[in-house]
Copies of this chain bind each other. A is one copy, B any other.
Amino acid sequence: MIGPEIDRLIQLLAKLPGLGPRSARRVALHLIKRRDSLMAPLGAALAEAAAGIRTCSVCGNLDSADPCHICTDDRRDPSLLCVVEEVGDLWALERTGAFKGRYHVLGGTLSALEGVGPDDLAIPGLLERAARPEVREVILALNATVGGQTTAHYISDRLAHCDVILTRLAHGVPVGGELDYLDDGTLTAALRARRNV
């Protein structure tokens, strides 16, 4: 007979991605043993985030402010617009510190099979933003998957008449990667896009 509070906690933890019932119990015990150092702060952080985090109405980023801090940051270049599928991709690019423009989060990719059309994604908003005079370049930072590439094609078609430069991320050998372990497609792309040293 496990108490109802602990039981409920375990059931909620088991809904997190990557956790099953067994690991949820392990996490619950770990938390109960660290009540003041981890459990209470995590509970507060979740409550705070649940109450405060919203989707930026301009770019689709998640932040406590709307428009988000990236959209309102004057030091960022408004002429560069980087299109990503999900907020996680935006986070990944922000971690590099290599991009100083603004973002546009689509919220997924086009999929005829799953009935996801342009209006289900943030594509209308993207077309509107890309047409603004300050935007000079749209970078399609979509995943190198079928869905990502289909979506990239669709967006480049729709932006063909716009006065913006359309770019995509380079394909090639990952930094630190070994040729022997690379798939043929990546190696072919890296060879085709070879550069002078």
User: At the interface with chain B, which of A43-51, A124-132, A143-151, A174-182?
Assistant: A43-51
Interface string of A31-51 (1 = CB under 8 A from B): 110011011111111111111
- CB distance B53 to A3 under 8 Å? yes
In the complex, A77 has a CB within 8 A of chain B: no
Question: Would you call A23 an interface residue if the criterion is a C-beta within 8 Å of the partner chain's C-beta atoms?
Answer: yes
**Nearest chain B CB to A21 CB, angstrom units:** 10
Given A38-B15, A62-B6: A88 touches B45 (CB 8 Å cut-off): no
The 8 Å CB contact of A38, one of B8, B12, B18, B91, is B12
Bound together, the chains give a CA A44 to CA B33 distance in angstroms of: 18
Rounded to whole angstroms, the CA-CA distance of A53 and B38 in the bound complex is 14
Q: A5-B53, A12-B38 are in contact. List 4 more A-B contacts (CB 8 A).
A: A5-B48, A18-B19, A39-B46, A42-B43
Can you list 24 A-B pairs, Cβ within 8 angstroms, ordered by A?
A: A1-B73, A2-B94, A3-B62, A3-B63, A3-B69, A5-B45, A5-B48, A6-B63, A9-B42, A9-B46, A12-B42, A13-B42, A16-B27, A16-B30, A18-B18, A29-B88, A31-B49, A36-B50, A39-B49, A39-B50, A43-B45, A43-B47, A43-B49, A44-B47
